[in-house]
Amino acid sequence: SGETSYNSWLQYSKITDSPLVDNYSPFLEHVVIPENTEVINSAKEELLCGISSMFGKSLNISTELKKESFIFLGTEDKYEMVKELIGVDLLGQLNNEGYIIKSFESNNSIIIFGKNDKGVLYGVFHLLRLIQTDSSLNNIDIFENPKNQLRMINEWDNMDGSVERGYAGNSIFFEENRFVRDWDRIKDYARMLSSVGINAIAFNNVNVHEVESKLITTEFLPDVAKVASIFRAYGIKTFLSINYASPIQIGGLDTADPLDEKVRNWWKEKTKEIYQYIPDFGGVLVKADSEHRPGPFTYNRTHADGSNMLAEAIEPFGGIVLWRCFVYNCMQDWRDRSTDRAKAAYDHFKPLDGQFKDNVVLQIKNGPMDFQVREGVSPLFGAMPKTNQLLEFQIAQEYTGQQRHVCYLIPQWKEILDFDTYANGEGTPVKSVVDGSQFQYTHCGITAVSNIGNDVNWTGHTLAQANLYGYGRLTWNPDLSSEIITDEWVKATFGTDLDVVSEISDMLLQSWRIYENYTSPLGVGWMVNPEHHYGPNVDGYEYSVWGTYHFADCKGIGVDRTISTGTGYTGQYFPENQTMYESLDTCPDELLLFFHHVPYTHVLKSGKTVIQHIYDTHFEGVEQAEGLKQRWLALEGKIDPTRFRGILERLEHQAEHSKEWRDIINTYFYRKSGIPDEKNRKIY
């Protein structure tokens, strides 16, 4: 049935054959819950549901401590009740969302203790995860604080029900220019998100069209408030994407100039109104002066002027302004070799460092171009010590197979988070910039474009659920390894059978490289069909206005972004990285064509020429895609039929489609270069 795929990693499958049933049972008699908040109630409901589903057992609920066999859920307010059991040593180190889990074999008890109720909720999800992954409950001694303050999701949902870059059906929030009002589905989404530690969401598209502009009016605020209340019960704050030109669009003013008093007052009144409906409203997300969206440039104002104006309006209510840095010239002339889109965000924002208010956070895409299979890490990270920064990933697989191909992105995100910016000298990885530990940031963290829709299984490709899961886990703790995250997801989703776990984990962990192999070699991007961005089209973006070129000719390929002979982009990095990328000797192979234009005969560090690398990876990628399908087929009978077939269909498509990629890419470069494949394979 669809239920299994709908339940994602919150399967709570019946546990019968685990060697650990005898270990678990003694703990599962009572749940002691002395407090009563919305979030604690969510924690209680989840625990009761999880235990009853896995063990067919209802826990007895009590507010008083028992002598034995109990699970205690409580916060600092109830510290007195459990102080003998948890001691004081770690207490002071718990942050607002942190928690402690301890278990005691002597009386079969488990203490889940949060500084606040959110910690209790996260602790309950952690306990349920331990059981779902076959972990022993003996001698648990867990201390967890989330590493990032903002752990956010951006939906690109439009009110007509479509989802921009959505690959899993329509919106679960909107249809026909109103709210869907399927609150249960939204609640289940909230459960999924909070189970991996997400604490904020903006649920409408950053491209705010006409109807969506009215989300901040009384026409829709009651519904927004309803959605916010569902998320609130799971510790998730609601944000809205807003239209920068709202004062004109919905306010009837003749300007949106951020320095105009009328405009400033309009936003102050508007903000007051929003907070009447949603007292803990998180704030606004703004895409301004980007891809034809309105912004302060219209009035010759800076992005500091624009964002500060909103920040001032929202400050009295504790809200924040998430301001995107995806600002570039999308009307470029391809003949112009001096403009480089990769440089745009840094060029626009770096000079403004120090001018932003404390409650403005700059939201920066992980790459300087746009969520390609592989690109350099944005040099803006670490370059603005006096300005709050938020990292933006894309879980939706716009350029990585659109959730029809499997492409597990956790390894990619880990590389980005671990990338050393050298902002404070060696050992200043991106993760340490956005978690606020390098500079005195007041707000920071990680956000990402969601990959869900109203498909029964949420993500179209069931294996794409792993990207959403892993995103949350990584955001909670960027130091978790890909292997650990993957292992958790597979076990919680498909059960703990050893073959299933090792096969699926390995398929996921290799999938990004496989996808890269048959699509986009050596950091060159954009060889996709325009607009929908699916499938190969080497020159699809070569002569366009978007600033997206590979410059392939009969001699060579790649974008010269060096200081000495190119666009100078490498100069935006701190010296160590600048030197590494500037020189052909030290630039890593995998990003070679992102930074350099080289002849097809250029020899890579691997010892192969560029052209032979292109041929080899494309032939190999197709074999690997076929391999994924074969490995999946071998799991038949170990996966429920619905998910088995659904995933198989997509893997079959992937294997076929990878051939299309291989043949078009190889043929294109063979025809351009005239250099035959050393191994004489079929190229057209």
Token pair recorded at residue 99 = 């928690």
* Contact with ligand GCW (CB under 6 A) among 30, 165, 443, 473: 165
326 touches ligand GCW (CB under 6 A)? yes
Terminal CA-CA length for the chain: 44
In angstroms, give the least distance from the CB of 59 to ligand GCW.
45
426 is catalytic: no
Q: Which of residues 346-405 bind ligand GCW (CB under 6 A)?
A: 370-371
291 given a catalytic annotation: yes
Close Cβ partners of 157 (under 8 Å, ≥ 6 residues apart): 163, 164, 166, 171, 172, 173, 174, 203, 204, 205
Q: Which is nearer to ligand GCW, 287 or 596 (CB)?
A: 287
Nearest Cα to 574, choosing from 303, 290, 376? 376
Residue 225 has a CB neighbour count (10 Å cut-off) of 17
Question: Is residue 348 within 8 Å of 340, Cβ to Cβ?
Answer: no
Which residue sits closest to ligand GCW, CB atoms considered? 370
* Closest separation in Å from C-beta 399 to ligand GCW: 8
Instruction: Please identify, using beta-carbon distances, which residue of 156 and 281 lies nearer to ligand GCW.
Output: 156
Of 326 and 515, CB closest to ligand GCW: 326
Give yes or no for residue 156 binding ligand GCW (CB under 6 A).
yes
In the complex with ligand GCW, which residue's Cβ is closer, 156 or 458?
A: 156
329 lies in the site for ligand GCW, by CB under 6 A: no
Tell which one of 37, 207, 229, 583 touches ligand GCW (CB under 6 A): 207
* Identity of the residue, 64 or 531, whose beta carbon is nearer to ligand GCW in the bound complex: 531
Distance separating alpha carbons of residues 432 and 439, to the nearest angstrom? 9
Instruction: Give the distance from CA 397 to its chain's centroid.
Output: 10
Q: How far is the CB of 371 from ligand GCW (least distance, A)?
A: 6
Quick one: 332 or 432, whose CB is closer to ligand GCW?
Answer: 332
Size of the site for ligand GCW (CB under 6 A): 10
Pick the binder of ligand GCW from 164, 175, 506, 542 (CB under 6 A).
164
Phi, psi of 344 (to 5 degrees): -60, -50
Angstrom CA distances, 128 to 137, 391, 681, stand at 11, 29, 52
Query: How many CA atoms does the CB half-sphere of 535 hold within 13 Å?
Result: 10
Closest among 273, 351, 352, 341 to 306, alpha carbons compared: 352
Cβ distance 133 to 465 under 8 Å? Answer: no
Q: Which is nearer to ligand GCW, 326 or 476 (CB)?
A: 326
Contacts of 617 (CB under 8 A, 6+ apart): 516, 517, 518, 521
Helix (H), strand (E) counts: the chain: 21, 18
Q: Does 160 bind ligand GCW (CB under 6 A)?
A: no
**Catalytic residue from among 398, 435, 503, 616:** 398
Catalytic residue among 45, 76, 273, 291: 291
Distance between CA 484 and CA 430 in Å, rounded?
21
Q: How far is the CB of 339 from ligand GCW (least distance, A)?
A: 18
The site string for ligand GCW over 44-83 (x = CB under 6 A, - otherwise) reads ----------------------------------------
The Cα–Cα gap between 277 and 291 comes to: 31
Cβ-based nearer residue to ligand GCW, 164 or 353: 164
Please confirm, yes or no, whether 626 is among the known catalytic residues: no
Cα distances (Å, whole numbers) of residue 26 to 13, 23, 51, 58, 614: 19, 7, 13, 13, 59
Q: How far apart are CA 32 and CA 95, in angstroms?
A: 23
Site for ligand GCW in 187-206 (CB under 6 A): 206
For the segment 565-624, give every residue that binds ligand GCW (CB under 6 A): none
Does position 341 interact with ligand GCW (CB under 6 A)? The reply is no
Residue of 151, 287, 301, 343 interacting with ligand GCW (CB under 6 A) = 287
- Rounded to the nearest angstrom, the gap between the alpha carbon of residue 540 and the centroid of all alpha carbons in its chain is 27
DSSP 516-585: HHHS-GGG----B-TTT--SB-TTTTTTSTTS------SSEE-----TTTS--GGGGS-HHHHHHHHSTT
- Least CB distance from residue 287 to ligand GCW, whole Å? 5
Instruction: Name the catalytic one among 97, 117, 370, 582.
Output: 370
CB of 250 to ligand GCW, least distance (A): 21
Write each residue from 289 to 308 as x if it is in contact with ligand GCW (CB under 6 A), else as -, in one continuous string: --x-----------------
In whole angstroms, the minimum distance from the beta carbon of 326 to ligand GCW comes to 5
Q: What's the closest the beta carbon of residue 86 comes to ligand GCW, in angstroms? A: 45
Residue 651 binds ligand GCW (CB under 6 A): no
Could you say whether residue 212 binds ligand GCW (CB under 6 A)? no
Give CA–CA dist 523/590, Å, rounded: 6
Asked if 155 interacts with ligand GCW (CB under 6 A), we say no
Indicate which residues carry an active-site annotation.
291, 370, 398
Give the binding site for ligand GCW (CB under 6 A).
156, 164-165, 206-207, 287, 291, 326, 370-371
